[in-house]
Amino acid sequence: MQFLKTTLHDPLFFLSGDHFAYKENFIHPTRTMDSFEIIIGLKGIPYIEQNNNQYQVGRDQVLLLLPNQEHKGYAPSKEEINFNWLHFYCQSSYEIIDEDVARAEILLLKNVHPTNKLTSYIYLPIFSTPAHMDRIHIIFRQLIHVANANYYTKQAVNYTLTSLLIELSEQYISSSLQESETNVGRAPLVKILEYIRINCTRNINVAEIAEEFFYNKDYLSRIFKKQMGTSIHDYIILQKMSKSKELLTQTGQSIKEIAYLLGFEDEKYFMKLFKKYEQVTPTDYRNAFYRSSNT
C-alpha cells in the first residue's frame, strides 16, 4: 500500500465535494484528474481500480484517488450506492511513499515529547478503514457547510479540509503505534530508525549500526528485514532519497552539492540511484516541483 505524505506548511486547497447516490449497477467512470479525490463509503460497494489495484469501498472505508493517474470502475455495483466525495490540491510539496517508509516515519513519532508535537506532515493511506468514522462524518458535514456558507475567506474551507485529513491521518497513526506496542522488538527498532534518519547524510552501513546498538550484524539484518519489509541498506538509501527531495525543492544547491551533502562522492551514482527510486532524474524532479508550485 502507498501513502500520501504532504506538509502542513499551507492548508490543503478544497475544490469541491458532495454526497453521491445511485441505484444498483453503478460503474465509476474512467477518468484521469489533476486533483486528489477522497471517497468515503456509506452504503453499497463501488468497485474502483487504480494503478492496477482493485478496491471495494464499503461502508466506513476511505479511498484516496491520485492525480494524473487513471482510475475506473471495474465492476457494476450490486445494490444502491451512497458515498461522500471531495476533490483537493496540495498547496505544499507532497510525495507518494511506500508503506515501509510510512511505517518507519510513523514509528519515530512515538518518541516525540507531548510538548513538542509539531509534526509537519500528513500521512494518508490510499485505502483505509478508520476506527472512529463518526468523527470523519462530522468534519465532512462541517466541510460541506463551510464550502456553501459564503465565508469571506476561502481559507475557512481549506482549513476545515485540512482538519479532515489530519483526523484521517491521526486515526491511522494511532492505530499503527498501538499495534507497534504489542511487539517488544519495536522499541530498539525505533532508536535504530532514528539513528539512520539523523546520520543518513554520512556513509553509514549495517556494520556501524550493529556496533552502535550492540547487535550481531547478520542478526540485525534479519530482524530489520522481518519487521520493516526492507533491508537496512535499502532503508538508508530511501532516507537519502527523501532528504535529497527536500534539498532539491527547498534549496538552490546544485545536484553535485546535494550529492556531496548526502555522502555520495560520485554525483553520477547519486543521479543513477535517484532515477532508480523516483523514476525521474533529480533535475526533472526539481523542475516538476517548481512547475506545480507556479500553477
Residue 225's pLDDT band (boundaries 50, 70, 90)? confident
Which backbone phi and psi does 197 adopt, to 5 degrees?
Answer: -60, -45
Q: Which amino acid, 236?
A: I
Look up residue 72 and give its three cell numbers: 475506473
Q: Where are the domains of the chain?
A: 1-182, 186-293
Mean pLDDT of the residues in the chain: 87
Judge whether residue 83 has pLDDT over 60.
Answer: yes
Residue 186's pLDDT band (boundaries 50, 70, 90)? low
Which pLDDT belongs to residue 180? 56
Judge whether residue 285 has pLDDT over 60.
Answer: yes
Topology, domain 186-293:
Arc Repressor Mutant, subunit A (1.10.10)
Which pLDDT belongs to residue 92? 84
Alpha helix ranges (H) inside 46-202: 99-108, 133-147, 155-180, 186-199
Least confident of 72-86, 93-107, 139-153, 261-275: 93-107
pLDDT digits (tens, 9 = 90+) for 235-271: 898 889 888 988 888 888 999 999 999 988 888 999 9
Beta bridge partners of 62: 40, 128
CATH homologous superfamily of domain 1-182?
Regulatory protein AraC (2.60.120.280)
For residue 56, what is the DSSP state?
A: E
What global pTM score does this model have?
0.68
Q: For Cα atoms 28, 31, 33, give the angle at the middle one, nearest 5 degrees.
A: 120
